[in-house]
Structures are given as C-alpha cells and as structure tokens.
Amino acid sequence: MRTASGKRTKAENIYLPVSGRIEEIRKKTEDVSLFRVSTASPLRYTPGQFFMVSVWGAGEVPISTASLCEDDLFVEFCVRKAGTVTGAIHSLQEGDRLWLRGPYGNGFAVGRRANGDVLLVAGGIGIAPLRPIIQMFAKDGSAGSVTLLYGSKGPQDVVFMDEVQVWRSGGIDVILTVDRANCDWRGSAGLVTDLWHRARVDFSRATAYICGPEIMIKSVMRDLSLFGMPDERIITTLEAHMKCGVGKCGHCYSGPKYICTDGPVFSYKEIKEYSLLG
Amino acid sequence: MKSEWVLSKDHLSYWLRQLRNERELIGPLRDGGKDILFRTVDMLHEIVLECPSSLPSPKGFLFPQYEAMFSCRGLSLSDGSDGKREISDLRDRTRRVIFGVRSCDVSAVRLLDAFCLGKLRDPYYEERRRNTFLISLVCNNPDPTCFCLGLGTGPYLEEGFDIQMTDLGDRYFVQAGSPEAVRTVRAMNFFFRKPRKVDYEDQYEVFLSSKARFRKRINLEGPRQAILSGKVGDDFWQEVTDRCFECGGCSYSCPVCTCFTVTDRINPEGIERARLWDSCMFKGFTRMAGGVLPNEKRVQRTKRWYYHKLVHYPRTTGKFGCVGCGRCAVACPGKIDMARTATKIKGLALKEEVE
C-alpha cells in the first residue's frame, strides 16, 4: 500500500537469511548428521519450531530445531541427507556458513504437566523435533512418568543412540525398536504401535508428542485415541514442502491451515477437524 | 468535494504522455498473435481499449512470473568472511502507471494487498505496489466469460481504485479514489473539466447498459453454502478432476493466485535466488525432500483450489478468492472454470432439493 507521503520505507525483508557458522558436525548414522550452528545475533526458539535453512546455490529448506534453546547462542539441526539442499548441507565442513531465517511455527506448548504422564513416539528422523522435549524432561524431571517409544529402520539407524543412556539416567523410560534387528540388537523389533503394552502410561491422563513418517503418525494417533487419550492431548508436528515458511508461498497450505504459520504442531483434534492428514 | 472530472478523448494521449514522464507506462497491447497483453507502451496509439480481457492478468507487474529476490556474489561454500555485504536485495523500485486495468483486476489487487501486506509483509510485492499507480477503465462490453457482476467486483467500482475512467463516447468520466490520484489529476488540471449534469446521467446509463450485457450471472454464495452443508460430494469433484490436464493454466491466469516456488540459479556473476509462479494443480507441488510425495490424489488438488477460493477465503477475509474475471474459462483446455463449476454445484443442490 502506498504511504501517504509516497516515501520509501526501508522495510525488513522477511526472506533475507542471516549468516550462521557451523560450529560442530556430529555424524549420527550413515545419512544423518547433527549440525550445531551459531549466529552473530542471539537465537531464541522453542521446541517444535523450525528454521528455513539455506545453502546459496542449492536452495532453502525448512528444518526443525533439534536442541533446547538454553543460552541463545546456538541451534542444532538434525539433517538426513535426502535431497538437493540436504545433500549440500552434508557437504559442508565445520567453520562453513549456513544461512538461517526464523524461527517459524508455533512449536510445542510443552510444560511440566502437573498430574499427567508424557508419552513421546518417534519414528526415524522424527526424533529430531522431539529431542528438545526429551532433553528438557531428562534435565528437569517431570511430575508424571516420561516414556519414549522410538522406532528406527535398523540398529545402525538409531539417530541419538549415544544419548539414550543420558536420557535414561534422566528418568526417561526409553523403549527402542527396529524394523530389522541383527544379533547385537538388545531392543525390540517391530513397529512402535506393537509396543503399547510396554509404555507405563495412564493413557487417559497423559499427553503424547509424536513425530515420524505420515503413516506412523496416523496409526499412533488412531491407537492413542482409542485408548482413551483426549484428542487435544495427542500432539504431532507435520512435515510439508515449504518455500517461504511465512505463509506466502502456498506449498504447505492444507485445508484452511498453513502448516508453517498455523503449525507445524497440531493436535489430533485439529488434524481431524481440518483433515490435515489426507 | 467530489473528486470527479471529465476528460475529453482528444486529451487522453496528451495526458498519458505527461504521466509517462514520471513513470513507466503500461497498457493493454495486441501482440503478433492478436492476444491482449499488458506491456510497456512505446506508441500510445497502440493501446487497445476495446478488446477482450488480457491474458495473463496484469498481476505480473506486482507479482511477476519470475522475480529475482537476492543476488549473492563472491561467496564460495566454505568462505569464512562476513556474508551480509555480498547479498543484495533485488527489489524492483520502478515507478509504473498501469492504464486500462479492468475493475475485476483492481479488485484482485485489493485481495492481493490483504494477503501480501497482511501480518507479514511481502517486501517484493510491497515495493512494487507502492510504486504502481492503477488507472482502471469501466467495462462497457463485458466478455462472454465475465461474471464480476455477481461478485460486486465489476464492471465498475464504487471504491478501492486509484483512478477509474468511464468511456462516455467522446469523453471519459474520471473519478479519483486515493489522495495520490487526486494530486495526479490536479497536477495536470488543464486537461480536465468539472462534470456537468449530463455527464453524470451518461455515466449512469453506461453503467446500466454494461450490467445488462453480462451473459453470465453467477452467485458464488449458493455454491459456498452447498459445499458447507455437505451437498457436494467427492464424486462431484472427481468429475471435475477427470477433465483436468494439470496444466496449471487456471492458477497462472488467475489474478488472485499467488503460490510461488523459490529456486537458486548459478550464473557466472554469482548466485541468484528467484521466485517463480507455481501451481497447486501440479503433482510435484507438495513434494518433499528426497522426492517423497504426501499421499494426495488428484481430486484433492482440484478440491483445494476451489475450497481455497470458495470456502477458506470468505472465512478469513469475508470475500471470495475470485473476482469473476473469467480467465480460467479462457485458459482451461478441459473446460473447467469457476463459473461452470459454480453453475454445476447449483444444479446439484437444486436436484437434491427436488428429490
């Protein structure tokens, strides 16, 4: 809109990324690495939010925060090498620059619920956005019990295997499962939905945080709802193709909701109401 | 006081020439293939005003099909120097005047304003919009595909225009709708005279005759309610989808559609990040990293387009996401368009009532 004086205002450019420095790269599995990035200006984000991460010449992708924002100094991204941009990110070295815009999205409204258990269900790389919640409960404890059900393809694909012990000593009941086990594997084999009996959770009073492949999210939500968990306490974060992260490009427009600005965190109630999952 | 004047047709080209001193003049021109396109006007006599609606719409001057966003120079992937200097913001700051815009397209620009300049302001759109001055022309002869009448987005506007001109035969009735428009006219007031009683009467008659010439009378409120009440099932949308070629013509020609994709291009001079029009009718529109496609059927894409315009737009803005320009009817090779779909939904709802 034209300003009264027709004067040019130096408006901020919402698409302009800021430069970040890769402080550390930790290889987690064959195709997943954890990137710790710092920026000149302080970073404030909450669990479940995401950044638009770019490599000039390759492009920009939405990546959820995999760390707890504690001292505003860095953010961690857990990236699976899947396409063009994530491939370019994986070719970077420590000390290289990664460009960021954000944080975007609503994030998990997570707190230490007074009288309820917490159930976290993750599939594959879906552990990444749940990691800050796990870290939070492992550090500060929780009123109820905290259980993590985590499914991976194989024993070598468990992304945060090195942190499982830390989480366990923080009081979190970590149940691991793989699709295909080998003789060294000491966890379960099969789908996460086969392990409900192992979760010591009062379903009717618990809150669930779920992230993983669409098919897993769908069946986990359906099961938990059948077990009597209220739909508004079954919470997931959805993945979508995005080009802007700010509700303009239209790619994540799903029903009347934009995954980027109205989500990516939605409850089962909202997912059913707006048919966000097909 | 009323911001209304009369401009003799003899004075039009002089006035436009004056406007062109300060701004790039854009107008409807006929290209080699006889299509009507909005282009930079070199020869004033080439402007065509008695013509069908342009295809594509003039939205491209506010939201171009290809727009460079940033350029990034001298930046290798592992370059440790501070990067901020090397990124330049490529916002287009050209001052333009678009002459001969239709009322529906002005209404579409109002919808784009609400969307692009809402909570988060799109800087590229904002810059172009601030520098673009619209002169709209009342449609005395609507096209057979036009249905703005039923939406209140044409053939003339009561408000929301910069300058609106009505062809009265030998002269134009000129209305200024914004402070800048009043200033623009006043700065060259020697071209204009005050309207007389006869000018008002003629304008009223032109409005009446234009309204009478519409062949399509479509009320989208009926279809909206039919959809909301669940009368329009998936089998209906499947029938619509069966005719879809997935060409994206409806979205590209639509003056309200704004979906875009972003791409990085590597040139010898550096890297350019640009955005391009995209269409939600394409299969790859929702494709995620590594080529994973969400479980989505073609019918869901068709539904999303119509739901966005007919249901979600009214819910969030109080207005339909359609201005009745009829371009989707011209563009679609499968003969799917908003007016036809709305009419079919109306028939479906009526049939159900009778049964």
Tens-digit pLDDT profile for residues A119-158 = 999 999 999 999 999 998 888 877 678 899 999 999 999 9
Q: What pLDDT score does B51 carry? A: 83
- B139: how many CB neighbours lie within 10 A of its CB? 22
Q: What percent of chain B has pLDDT over 90?
A: 72
pTM of the full structure: 0.90
Q: What pLDDT score does B353 carry? A: 74
Q: What percent of chain A has pLDDT over 90?
A: 60
B233 against B173, higher pLDDT: B173
Q: What pLDDT score does B88 carry? A: 87
Q: DSSP H helical segments within chain B, as ranges?
A: 9-22, 103-116, 123-130, 179-187, 197-212, 221-228, 234-242, 249-253, 298-307, 313-317, 327-331, 338-354
Once rounded to an integer, what is the mean pLDDT over residues B137-143?
92
Residue A77 tokens read as 């991204």
- Tell me the chain B residues in contact with residue A13 when contact means C-beta distances shorter than 8 Å: 89, 91, 123
A116 against A206, higher pLDDT: A206
Q: What pLDDT score does B203 carry? A: 94
Judged against a pLDDT cut of 60, whether residue B185 lies above it is answered with: yes
Judged against a pLDDT cut of 50, whether residue A62 lies above it is answered with: yes
Once rounded to an integer, what is the mean pLDDT over residues B34-57?
89
Once rounded to an integer, what is the mean pLDDT over residues A98-107?
92
Once rounded to an integer, what is the mean pLDDT over residues B231-241?
91
Q: Say if residues A99 and A53 touch (Cβ distance below 8 Å).
A: yes
Q: What pLDDT score does A113 carry? A: 56
Task: Calculate the average pLDDT of chain B.
Answer: 89
> What is the rounded distance in angstroms from the CA atom of residue B236 to the CA atom of residue B345?
8
Judged against a pLDDT cut of 70, whether residue B305 lies above it is answered with: yes
Judged against a pLDDT cut of 80, whether residue B208 lies above it is answered with: yes
Q: What pLDDT score does A112 carry? A: 57
Selected for mutation to probe chain A from B85, B117, B121, B308 (highest A CB count within 10 Å) is B121
Closest residue on chain A to B272 (Cα): A57
- Judged by a CB distance cut-off of 8 A, whether residue A95 touches chain B is yes
Q: Say if residues A203 and A221 touch (Cβ distance below 8 Å).
A: no
Nearest to B263 among A55, A59, A253 (CB): A59
In the 8-state DSSP scheme, what is residue A156?
G
In the 8-state DSSP scheme, what is residue A65?
B
Q: Say if residues A29 and A36 touch (Cβ distance below 8 Å).
A: no
CA-wise closest residue to A119 among A92, A137, A98: A137
Q: What pLDDT score does A114 carry? A: 53
Selected for mutation to probe chain B from A7, A13, A63 (highest B CB count within 10 Å) is A13
The crossing angle, in degrees rounded to 10, of helices B338-354 and B234-242 is 140
Q: What pLDDT score does A6 carry? A: 39
In the stretch 232-261 of chain B, residues with CB closer than 8 A to chain A read: 258-261
Q: What pLDDT score does B80 carry? A: 46
- B262: how many CB neighbours lie within 10 A of its CB? 20
- Judged by a CB distance cut-off of 8 A, whether residue B310 touches chain A is no
- Tell me the chain A residues in contact with residue B288 when contact means C-beta distances shorter than 8 Å: 83, 239-241
- Tell me the chain A residues in contact with residue B113 when contact means C-beta distances shorter than 8 Å: 1
Q: What pLDDT score does B55 carry? A: 86
Once rounded to an integer, what is the mean pLDDT over residues B228-256?
92
Q: Say if residues A138 and A171 touch (Cβ distance below 8 Å).
A: yes
At the second CATH level, the architecture of A118-273 is 3-Layer(aba) Sandwich (3.40)
- Judged by a CB distance cut-off of 8 A, whether residue A231 touches chain B is no
CA-wise closest residue to B274 among A157, A219, A59, A213: A59
Q: What pLDDT score does B290 carry? A: 65
- Sequence length of chain A is 278
The CATH superfamily holding the domain A18-104 is: Translation factors (2.40.30.10)
Tell me whether residues B287 and A56 touch, CB distance under 8 A: no
Task: Calculate the average pLDDT of chain A.
Answer: 88
The letter for the amino acid at B169 is G
Residue A114 tokens read as 């007074």
Q: What pLDDT score does B2 carry? A: 61
Judged against a pLDDT cut of 90, whether residue B283 lies above it is answered with: no
Selected for mutation to probe chain A from B113, B130, B306 (highest A CB count within 10 Å) is B130
Tell me whether residues A214 and B294 touch, CB distance under 8 A: yes
Residues 6+ apart with CB under 8 A from B312: A255, A256, B321
Q: What pLDDT score does B32 carry? A: 83
CA A72 and chain centroid, separation = 18
Q: What pLDDT score does B20 carry? A: 93
Once rounded to an integer, what is the mean pLDDT over residues B235-246?
92
Query: Which of the given ranges, B75-89, B97-111, B276-290, has the highest pLDDT on average?
Result: B97-111
Range in A115-119, A271-275, B113-117 with the lowest mean pLDDT: A115-119
Domain extents for chain A?
A: 18-104, 118-273
CA-wise closest residue to A212 among A270, A148, A145, A136: A148
> What is the rounded distance in angstroms from the CA atom of residue B38 to the CA atom of residue B280?
25
- Tell me the chain A residues in contact with residue B269 when contact means C-beta distances shorter than 8 Å: none
Q: What pLDDT score does B295 carry? A: 63
